[in-house]
Amino acid sequence: MALLSGAVMSVSALTACGGADPGASGTKSGADVITFRSFVKASDVVTAAFNKTHKDFQVKWENVPSGTDYYTKLASSVKAGNVPDVAVVEYNQLPDVVSQGGLEDLTETAGQVVTGNFPPQVQQLVTLGGKTWGVPRDVAPLVLFYRKDFYDKHDLEPAKTWDEYTKLLEKVKKADSKARGGIFATADANLLAALAWQAGGHWYGTEGQSWKVSIDDEPSKKMAAYWTDLVSKGLVGSYNSTSDDAFFQAVQKGEVVSYICANWCAGALQSTVPDQKGKWAVAMVPSWDGRPASAMFGGSSFTVPKGAKHPEQALEFIKWITTDPEGMKAWLSSGTSSMLPAAPALLSTTSAFKTDFYDGQDIFALASKSYESVPSGWMWGPSAGVTGTAISDSLGKVAGGEMTLADVLTSAQQATVADFKGRGLSVVQ
């Protein structure tokens, strides 16, 4: 699904102001080294693998922290004319980076790569205004991680519906007063967005020649009421995120025996608590009606920043790390990256990720099933960063009982609409 109407106008206008067309920067003939800026796990491993098998040029990896600061630095690099040749951009951030004129248009050079290797629901995440701005690397469907030994000991089963999940959480707390069967992430707006997506929410859209912002739509408010109830009853533990030190300390102590995350969390879990090998398993996330339903929690693409000096070599590297089986194996063989390839033809490469920690369970088959159940129609808007900040800044108050999650969504709605208007974009609610 292309980003339509008002989005097209903003993207086209900003691209026009961004300088020369994609090929204008040219490729320095015989370039020996190109730069690759990324924060995703195993970027060092995949870079080394490329350099070992390619002699025409080499890749230098720039390790950078994730989060808002990364995108601020990328925007500053574009303005300063000092950009890397390749940069990772998460799906939810892509519209914002494009709207600021930060990326080269890859329609002519990589458009067929995207349409020929990735399904429509992934293509839509890197296609804005009918143009291709990145090449997908992975998809990140929601799944439930659970301590199978704890569940077996207390005769528990992963819940199929959210109503069942509430009852499951009650049983976990009753079985062990210190243990919780779920968490509430107080600093991770992306997880909340995924839960709204799964519920049928549509935070961004287009209506005529305008953007439509609906962060507090009815499906999202239904989800918000549900999680506010779980928090108020003390049925879930509150931690910053599923990668927070305090969270993993609780996992180590057996105080978190199940939690909702995406398939990429598998690598982090096994590398952080290796002594719990064989105790964890993965299941489908609960849904509202018991039928499979999921959503994307993360996922990233690789792009060529505006003004990159070596775009042709950049694309050669990008194609290798996103569509070549050897490139994909390099990501997964590290043992730290449990990404699910966005290109269906590369699903077989997931065997490079050893699942002994999960007692040999085919976690990628389950993740693929989860991905197939992701509702269509979700799109990101250019103010996703503002939305995320507005939400993250208030989630702690929900955990403290000072706000409801519905209040947080309403506040984020207001902040996002104000940002759209501040950018001069037409917006309806």
Q: For 309-317, what is the mean pLDDT? A: 97
pTM of the model: 0.88
pLDDT at 16: 35
Rounded Cα distance, 130 and 212, in Å: 18
pLDDT beyond 90 at 9:
no
Same domain for 202 and 232, yes or no, is yes
Q: How many residues can be counted in the chain?
A: 429
Instruction: Specify the pLDDT at position 67.
Output: 85
Same domain, 94 and 166: no
Answer whether residue 358 is part of any domain. Answer: no
User: Do 271 and 409 fall within a single domain?
Assistant: yes
Question: What average pLDDT is seen over the chain?
Answer: 91
Q: How many domains does the chain have?
A: 2
pLDDT at 213 over 50: yes
Asked whether the beta carbons of 379 and 94 are under 8 A apart, the reply is no
76 and 186 share a domain?
Answer: no
Is 288 found in the same domain as 305? no
Question: How far, CA to CA in Å, does 261 sit from each of 192, 201, 266, 372, 375?
Answer: 11, 18, 9, 16, 17
Same domain, 317 and 386: no
pLDDT at 20: 34
Q: Do the beta carbons of residue 259 and residue 182 sit within 8 Å?
A: yes
Q: Which residues constitute the domain of residue 75?
A: 6-136+300-338
- Pair 262, 307 in one domain: no
Task: Encode 101-149 in three state secondary structure.
Answer: CCECCCHHHHHHHHHHHCCHHHHHHHEECCEECCEECEECEEEEEEEHH
Residue 328 lies in a domain: yes
CA 217/CA 250 separation, integer angstroms: 34
| Co-location of 158 and 132 in the same domain | no
159 shares a domain with 118: no
pLDDT per residue as tens digits for the range 25-75: 333 345 699 999 999 989 999 999 999 999 999 999 999 998 889 999 999
Cβ-proximal residues to 50 (8 Å cutoff; 6+ apart), any chain: 59, 317, 320, 321, 327, 330
According to the model, what pLDDT value does residue 100 have?
92
Judge if 103 and 124 occupy the same domain.
yes
- Residue 314 near residue 305, CB atoms below 8 Å: no
**114 and 156 together in one domain:** no
Q: Is the distance from CB of 282 to CB of 143 less than 8 angstroms?
A: yes
- 112-130 tens-digit pLDDT: 999 999 988 899 899 988 9
13 and 49 part of one domain? yes
Q: What is the CATH number of the domain that holds 130?
A: 3.40.190.10
Model confidence at 101, in pLDDT bands (50, 70, 90)?
very high
